[in-house]
């Protein structure tokens, strides 16, 4: 796999490329997870071959490969439902006797003025609605209830062609395009809507008498977006690496972006993972190592937020070039405030999200905590979802 992908001069041409994937940027000689996986797949292939041989002996030579394995490992019926058939239809299929329900689709009002979804919703309205493209999700019970709790979910990325559907109606527009003005800038509200469609949604949901679920207007409900103020904690806090015009003392930043999978701490808080964040920035000047290593583009950013027509600071920060006399006058360090795990307390709507720099900076896929043991250090694992990277294990310096 690793050698096959490296046959392509442009990583965007690989068969597995998805819009938003960051360019490979690991230039070290350390064994990557691809190499570990290659070895594992070879071993797994041997084991599966052995299983297929056993299955063939049991069921006859007519059953080979996947068919043999499928029959050899067929469900026993102990789960209590009839399995659904394999299907390539673009629809939800559930077993007989089950049903599904869409809960919290993009644009669902959850807080503030509760604006109803409409194709021409403003950027401010999007900040009161669920964001786009849900990923990591966790249900936090209220008082231990399985029928009343807080649902917390990430919003990994956006598609401008849908966000601005009312504006671009009738135009040819694909998933890689953004709305541009004739002068090469972008409308501020278009950018704001895109920023606010990222982040995390928290809302209360409960089961009703007829068995369906509803979203409840509740003080716990809130949106955390790509512009929400956040604390920087851990060893990076206050360092020269995160000094910006917005935070000259390097203690805070704005927003969380491209949140993929998630995690839940042993103390019942939510951890949002910042995955393919580097492409949200651009640095057309001289790139420091911390930009180049993580793949900050040197030509254009993914959504061109830095081109907002007003030049407002909240959007100009996505230009990571050194434009001032020092880091306190520009956003050369803004990318360094991303790539972290972000801790959010869903039960305290007044709390400020915290970027936990102890857990490392990379394209976090998520985080998984090992079961905590009293008197022993806490342990968790997090993977870098960029190509040719690693899985990390973190061990606390102090026991639980």
What DSSP letter does each residue of 79-137 carry, written as one string? TSSPPPPP---SS----TT------S-TT-B-STT-PPP-TT--HHHHTTB--SSEEEE
Question: What is the pLDDT averaged over residues 232-242?
Answer: 98
pLDDT bucket at 62, cuts 50 / 70 / 90:
very low
Tokens 């046959």 locate to 7
- Highest mean pLDDT: which of 293-297, 342-346, 387-391? 342-346
Question: What is the pLDDT averaged over residues 3-11?
Answer: 65
61: which 2 tokens?
């030579």
With DSSP H G I counted as helix, E B as strand and the rest as coil, what are the percentages for the chain, rounded to 5?
20, 20, 55
pLDDT bucket at 14, cuts 50 / 70 / 90:
confident
Q: What local confidence, expressed as pLDDT, does residue 40 receive?
A: 73
pLDDT bucket at 188, cuts 50 / 70 / 90:
very high
Round to whole Å and give the CA distance between 296 and 332.
Answer: 11
Q: Contact at 8 Å (CB) between 369 and 348? A: no
Q: Flag whether pLDDT at 151 surpasses 80.
A: yes
Round to whole Å and give the CA distance between 93 and 82.
Answer: 12
Q: Is the dihedral of CA 258, 261, 265, 270 positive or negative?
A: positive
Q: What local confidence, expressed as pLDDT, does residue 77 receive?
A: 59
Q: What local confidence, expressed as pLDDT, does residue 59 receive?
A: 44
Q: What local confidence, expressed as pLDDT, does residue 69 receive?
A: 40
Round to whole Å and give the CA distance between 278 and 338.
Answer: 8
Round to whole Å and give the CA distance between 307 and 118.
Answer: 25
320: which 2 tokens?
């990571």
At 313-365, the pLDDT tens digits run 999 999 999 999 999 999 999 999 999 999 999 999 999 999 999 999 999 99
At 68-92, the pLDDT tens digits run 444 444 555 566 778 888 888 999 9
With H, G, I as helix, E, B as strand and everything else as coil, classify residue 152. Answer: strand
- Extract the runs of DSSP E, i.e. beta strands, from the chain: 134-141, 148-155, 199-207, 213-216, 222-224, 229-233, 252-254, 259-264, 270-274, 341-344, 354-356, 368-369, 377-383, 391-399
Q: What local confidence, expressed as pLDDT, does residue 45 receive?
A: 59
With H, G, I as helix, E, B as strand and everything else as coil, classify residue 200. Answer: strand
Q: Flag whether pLDDT at 42 surpasses 90.
A: no
Question: What is the pLDDT averaged over residues 199-214?
Answer: 97
Question: What is the pLDDT averaged over residues 120-135?
Answer: 98
Residue, of 118 and 387, whose pLDDT is higher: 118
Question: What is the pLDDT averaged over residues 376-392?
Answer: 92
Question: What is the pLDDT averaged over residues 152-157?
Answer: 97
């Amino acid at each position: 796999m690793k050698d096959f992908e490296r046959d392509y001069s442009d990583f965007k041409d690989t068969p597995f490329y998805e819009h938003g994937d960051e360019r490979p940027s690991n230039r070290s000689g350390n064994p990557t997870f691809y190499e570990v996986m290659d070895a594992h797949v070879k071993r797994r292939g041997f084991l599966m071959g052995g299983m297929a041989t056993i299955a063939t002996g049991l069921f006859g030579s007519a059953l080979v490969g996947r068919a043999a394995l499928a029959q050899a490992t067929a469900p026993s019926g102990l789960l209590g439902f009839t399995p659904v058939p394999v299907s390539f239809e673009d629809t939800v299929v559930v077993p007989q006797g089950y049903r599904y329900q869409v809960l919290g689709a993009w644009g669902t009002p959850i807080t503030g003025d509760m604006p109803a979804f409409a194709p021409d919703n403003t950027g401010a309205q999007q900040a009161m609605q669920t964001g786009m493209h849900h990923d990591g999700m966790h249900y936090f019970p209220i008082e231990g209830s399985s029928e009343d709790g807080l649902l917390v979910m990430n919003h990994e990325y956006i598609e401008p062609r849908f966000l601005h559907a009312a504006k671009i109606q009738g135009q040819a527009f694909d998933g890689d395009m953004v709305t541009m003005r004739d002068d090469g800038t972008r409308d501020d509200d278009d950018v704001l809507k895109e920023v606010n469609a990222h982040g995390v949604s928290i809302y209360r949901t409960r089961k009703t008498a007829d068995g369906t679920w509803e979203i409840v207007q509740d003080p716990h409900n809130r949106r955390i977006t790509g512009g929400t103020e956040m604390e920087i904690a851990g060893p990076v806090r206050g360092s020269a690496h995160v000094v910006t015009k917005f935070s000259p003392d390097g203690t805070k930043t704005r927003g969380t972006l491209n949140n993929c999978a998630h995690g839940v701490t042993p103390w019942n808080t939510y951890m949002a993972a910042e995955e393919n964040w580097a492409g949200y920035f651009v640095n057309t000047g001289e790139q420091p190592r911390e930009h180049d290593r993580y793949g900050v583009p040197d030509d254009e950013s993914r959504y061109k937020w830095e081109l907002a027509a007003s030049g407002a600071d909240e959007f100009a920060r996505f230009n990571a070039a050194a434009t001032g006399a020092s880091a306190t006058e520009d956003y050369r360090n803004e990318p360094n405030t991303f790539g972290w795990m972000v801790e959010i307390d869903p039960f305290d709507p007044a709390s400020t999200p915290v970027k936990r720099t102890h857990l490392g900076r990379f394209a976090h896929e998520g985080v998984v905590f090992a079961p905590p043991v009293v008197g022993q250090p806490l342990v968790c694992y997090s993977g870098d979802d960029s190509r040719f990277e690693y899985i990390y294990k973190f061990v606390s310096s102090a026991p639980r």
